[in-house]
Amino acid sequence: MFRTTLILLGILALLASAPAALAAAGDCNGDGSVDQADLDALVAANNTVATGTSMANCDYDGDGAISLADANQHIAESNQ
């Protein structure tokens, strides 16, 4: 029982410390869904750094920055 509790506490600590890494790709605002609000966040964050921020889930091209190319990719993937 004690070991199980420690494992569960460890998992909870990991989840609390790395939510962006576990969030869905395209969920820019971290609300658990990919929708218009995420596109709005992408456009508002244009020309900003994505690395180490909640916007990292929306850096579609992986260049470390949020740009209109990421917004275009977001739209393309949302329409599939």
Please provide the average confidence, as pLDDT, over all residues in the chain: 80
Asked if residue 72 has pLDDT above 60, the reply is yes
Q: pLDDT digit string (tens) for 40-59?
A: 999 999 999 988 888 888 99
Per-residue exposure over 50-79, b if at least 16 CB sit within 10 Å of its own CB, e if not: beeebbbbbbbeeeebbbeebbebbeeeee
What predicted TM-score, i.e. pTM, was given to this entire model?
0.67
Q: pLDDT digit string (tens) for 22-38?
A: 457 888 888 888 889 99
Structure token digits, residue 12: 């909870």
Asked if residue 70 has pLDDT above 70, the reply is yes
> Is the CATH number 1.25.10 carried by domain 2-78?
no
Residue scoring higher pLDDT (11 or 17): 11
